[in-house]
């Protein structure tokens, strides 16, 4: 049954919506027009700053007015001051710092339509509607089972949910128990941008053959948001940012509840659909520390706790069934910027504690699922037109279940990727990845070609393979 829900914003939302309107986002590129990771973007007028991610993306949520200046800096490259000219999406290219020069001032450029790194911005309306934001990603099919209280996952290009990986702030959200990600456990206020990985199978291996969707948290502003709506929907959230010249602390928390029971007609009779309610509380925090211009430390913590009804099917309802789950995500990354690249070391953990009970059928199950990862990456420009990316990943997955007992496995993966700029606009990128476990071996290859042709724009071709481990 289709349910149209009306939401009323009570306090604080006008200020938050304004923050979205006046912020700027974009990309930082190198002199080969490839993404330049971990550049620092500063707005001198307000003192706000943000660190671009590994794909060169940034989102600065502050009062950037037309013709304000933004300062871009990364060790090994010349600092640039960009005049925004009123554009809300920008691109900036930094040149290598081979010869000491004064600061260069340039005019901002809006992102052209053929830029290959599409980004979806999460708006206030999206945060009220769990369906809207994911449907804006090209090729995404959102699958929901039971409204807000039910499971929600996504597939790409008609594929299964097990073939699409979801990553929040570098943390793999895939459950080792079923190979999927339940998006109903991830509050939309946890992230403000979404984009697809350019090289999913090489970067993430198992379960990423259809693609990888990155959820990027950029909640670098303070806000209060309260909302209410039909079907008993109520929500409240708040965020606070404390920024210093070299340290930024961002906190967010809140919760929502919804009853969502409704009536429906079947065979000329009216029935009540019950036990669709959900209550969820959440907390998130991030700390970014610029130890120096060459060393960056980033940490994040996300927690959500849900208590929901499980209505069952129309033929076999379960009016007393209940599912409680607590999801915890943690991540710490150390980044060392080199003159010709960077090295990063990341430690992350995903843990989920789930309890399901149905007294009508004497069911009471408990599942604890966790995964720990250590990932090391090395990026280096070997020659002017040749860049190398290598990675080593160690992973341990564990399940403690009242139904199947205790299970665990250890995984190791290594990858090598080379990017060669044959001519300006013509890039060839061969890649290789090897995954090894106690009872399996898997090899992933990828060959990517990118050509920019006048009038036609940018054409990309890719051939490769992928795999998925059994749960």
pLDDT digits (tens, 9 = 90+) for 165-224: 999 999 999 998 888 899 989 998 888 888 888 788 899 988 888 889 999 887 777 889
User: pLDDT grade, residue 131 (50/70/90)?
Assistant: low
Residues 367, 400 contacting (CB under 8 angstroms):
yes
What SS3 class is residue 134?
helix
pLDDT interval class at 312 (50, 70, 90): confident
Q: Which two tokens stand for residue 84?
A: 């925004």
Q: Using the predicted structure, report yes or no on whether residue 323 has a pLDDT greater than 90.
A: yes
Of 181, 255, 209, the C-alpha closest to 468 is: 209
Residue-level pLDDT at 130: 60
Question: What value does the mean pLDDT take over residues 123-127?
Answer: 61
- To the question of domain 120-464 being in CATH 3.20.20.140, the answer is no
CA-based end-to-end distance of the chain: 33
- Give the closest residue to 73 by CA, choosing from 55, 49, 89, 90: 49
123 vs 217: which has the higher pLDDT: 217
Rounded to whole angstroms, the Cα distance separating 431 from 416 reads: 6
Contacts 24+ apart (CB under 8 A), 399-404: 399/176, 399/177, 399/367, 399/368, 399/369, 400/367, 400/368, 400/369, 401/177, 401/365, 401/366, 401/367, 401/368, 402/364, 402/365, 402/366, 402/367, 403/365, 403/367
Supply the pLDDT for residue 35: 86
- Average of per-residue pLDDT across 4-29: 50
CA 180 to chain centre: 15
Q: Where are the alpha helices (DSSP H) in 31-167?
A: 124-128, 132-135
| Tens-place pLDDT, residues 338-383 | 988 999 999 999 999 999 999 988 889 999 999 999 999 999 989 8
**Rounded alpha-carbon distances, angstroms, from residue 67 to 24, 29, 88:** 12, 21, 12
pLDDT class of 13 with cuts at 50, 70, 90: very low
For the chain, state the CA radius of gyration.
23
What's the pLDDT score for residue 128?
59
pLDDT value of position 267:
82
Q: Is 402's pLDDT higher than 70? A: yes
Q: How many whole angstroms separate alpha carbon 418 and alpha carbon 34?
A: 13
- For 244-277, list the strands marked E by DSSP: 247-258, 262-266, 269-273
Q: Residue 202: which of 454, 49, 417 has the closest Cα?
A: 417
Q: If you average pLDDT over each of 82-91, 161-170, 329-338, 454-463, which comes out highest?
A: 329-338
Secondary structure element (H or E) that encloses residue 15, with its range: helix 13-22
**How many other C-beta atoms can be found within 10 angstroms of the C-beta atom of residue 99?**
6
pLDDT surpasses 50 at 115:
no
**pTM for the model:** 0.85
What was the pLDDT predicted at 155? 86
Angle at 58 between CA 205 and CA 453, to 5 degrees: 75
Q: Band the pLDDT of 247: cuts 50, 70, 90.
A: very high
What are the tens digits of pLDDT across the range 253-303?
Answer: 999 999 888 888 878 888 888 888 999 999 999 999 999 989 999 999 999
Decide: 190 and 328 in contact? Cβ < 8 Å: no
The pLDDT score that the predictor gives to residue 9 is 36
CA distance 418 to 389: 6
Q: What percent of the chain has pLDDT over 70?
A: 88
If one compares 329 and 138, the residue with the highest pLDDT of the two is 329
């Amino acid at each position: 049954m289709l349910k149209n829900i009306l939401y009323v914003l009570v306090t604080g939302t006008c200020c938050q919506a304004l923050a979205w309107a006046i912020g700027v986002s974009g990309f930082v590129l190198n002199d080969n027009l490839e993404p330049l990771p971990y550049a620092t973007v500063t707005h001198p007028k307000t003192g706000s700053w943000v660190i671009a991610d590994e794909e060169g993306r940034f989102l600065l949520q502050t009062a950037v007015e037309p013709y304000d200046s933004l300062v871009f800096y990364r060790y090994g490259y010349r600092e640039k001051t960009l005049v925004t000219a009123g554009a809300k999406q920008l691109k900036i290219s930094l040149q290598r710092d081979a010869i000491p020069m004064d600061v260069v001032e340039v005019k901002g450029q809006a992102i052209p339509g053929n830029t290959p790194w599409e980004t979806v911005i999460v708006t206030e309306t999206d945060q009220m509607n769990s369906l809207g934001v994911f449907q804006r990603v090209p090729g995404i099919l959102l699958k929901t089972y039971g409204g807000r209280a039910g499971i929600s996952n996504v597939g790409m290009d008609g594929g299964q949910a097990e073939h699409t990986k979801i990553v929040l702030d570098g943390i793999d959200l895939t459950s080792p128990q079923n190979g999927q990600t339940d998006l109903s456990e991830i509050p939309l206020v946890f992230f403000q941008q979404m984009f697809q990985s350019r090289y999913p199978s090489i970067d993430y291996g198992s379960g990423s053959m259809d693609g990888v969707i990155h959820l990027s948290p950029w909640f670098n502003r303070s806000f209060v948001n309260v909302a209410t709506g039909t079907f008993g929907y109520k929500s409240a959230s708040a965020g606070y940012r404390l920024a210093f010249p070299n340290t930024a602390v961002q906190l967010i928390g809140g919760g929502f509840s919804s009853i969502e029971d409704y009536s429906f007609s079947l065979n000329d009779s009216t029935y009540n659909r019950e036990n669709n309610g959900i209550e969820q509380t959440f907390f998130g925090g991030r700390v970014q520390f610029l130890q120096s211009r060459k060393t960056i430390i980033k940490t994040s913590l996300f927690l959500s706790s849900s208590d929901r009804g499980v209505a069952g099917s129309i033929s076999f309802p379960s009016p007393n069934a209940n599912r409680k789950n607590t999801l915890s995500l943690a991540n710490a990354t150390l980044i060392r910027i080199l003159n010709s690249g960077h090295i990063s070391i990341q430690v992350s953990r995903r843990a989920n504690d789930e309890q399901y009970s149905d007294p009508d059928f004497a069911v009471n199950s408990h599942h604890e699922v966790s995964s720990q990862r250590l990932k090391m990456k090395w990026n280096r420009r070997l020659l002017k037109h040749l860049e190398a990316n290598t990675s080593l990943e160690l992973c341990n997955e564990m399940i403690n279940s009242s139904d199947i007992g205790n299970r665990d496995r250890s995984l190791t993966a290594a990858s090598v990727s080379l990017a060669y700029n044959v001519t300006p606009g013509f890039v060839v990128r061969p890649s290789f990845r090897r995954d090894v476990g106690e009872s399996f071996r898997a090899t992933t290859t990828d060959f990517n070609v990118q050509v920019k042709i006048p009038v036609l724009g940018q054409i990309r071709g890719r051939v490769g393979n992928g795999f998925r481990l059994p749960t």
